[in-house]
């Protein structure tokens, strides 16, 4: 649930919502050691929403052979936060989120698709669908909603 930028204080030269590109989002995700460890990648970033992907391997499985809920929560947290950056810029953190697991995740890959439902000046409410991909078919396995908060006293513009 860390900020998309490094350090406790937002830097003045952080990208604003209008400056964030897919390449910027990919760089930010790659700068997170945990995300690098997980192998996640940002594959889409636009004003309409974001998409993150994570290959599924046996290290992500629980005792039943399904993807562990923690991996789904990781994907939701990051996708929601990236979606929040569309409205607020990159000096942000996840304030809260809730997740509903609707079916076990299994297959080759997880895909998290998130969008902004409401963006204000200090917080954004975002929604995320997490799908598992098997043989090219996507199946909904979780839905999350969260609040993303700005670390700045005013909007990052």
Q: What is the DSSP letter of 131?
A: E
Q: Quote the CA–CA distance of 33 and 112 in Å, as a whole number.
A: 19
Q: What is the DSSP letter of 75?
A: H
Q: Which two tokens stand for residue 155?
A: 């909007």
Alpha-helical segments (H) within 17-95: 22-30, 33-38, 69-88
Going from the N-terminus, what domains does the chain have, and what CATH number goes with each? 17-150 (3.10.129.10)
Between the CA of residue 80 and those of 13, 113, 136, 140, what are the distances in Å? 23, 9, 24, 16
Residue by residue, pLDDT tens for the chain (157 residues) are 444 544 444 444 555 565 789 999 999 999 999 999 999 999 999 999 999 999 999 999 999 999 999 999 999 999 999 999 999 999 999 999 999 999 999 999 999 999 999 999 999 999 999 999 999 999 999 999 999 999 985 444 4
pTM recorded for the entire structure: 0.85
């Amino acid at each position: 649930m860390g900020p998309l930028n490094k350090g406790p204080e937002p830097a003045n030269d952080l990208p604003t919502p209008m400056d964030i590109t897919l390449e910027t989002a990919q760089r930010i995700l790659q700068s997170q050691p945990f995300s690098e460890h997980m192998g996640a990648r940002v594959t889409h970033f636009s004003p309409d929403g974001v998409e993150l992907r994570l290959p599924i391997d046996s290290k992500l499985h629980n005792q039943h052979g399904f993807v562990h809920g923690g991996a789904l929560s990781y994907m939701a947290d990051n996708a929601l936060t990236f979606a929040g950056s569309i409205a607020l810029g990159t000096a942000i953190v996840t304030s809260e989120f809730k997740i509903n697991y609707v079916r076990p995740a299994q297959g080759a890959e997880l895909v998290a698709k998130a969008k902004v439902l409401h963006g204000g000046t200090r917080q954004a409410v975002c929604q995320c669908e997490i799908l598992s991909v098997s043989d090219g078919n996507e199946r909904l396995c979780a839905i999350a909603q969260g609040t993303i908060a700005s670390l700045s006293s005013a909007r990052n513009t």
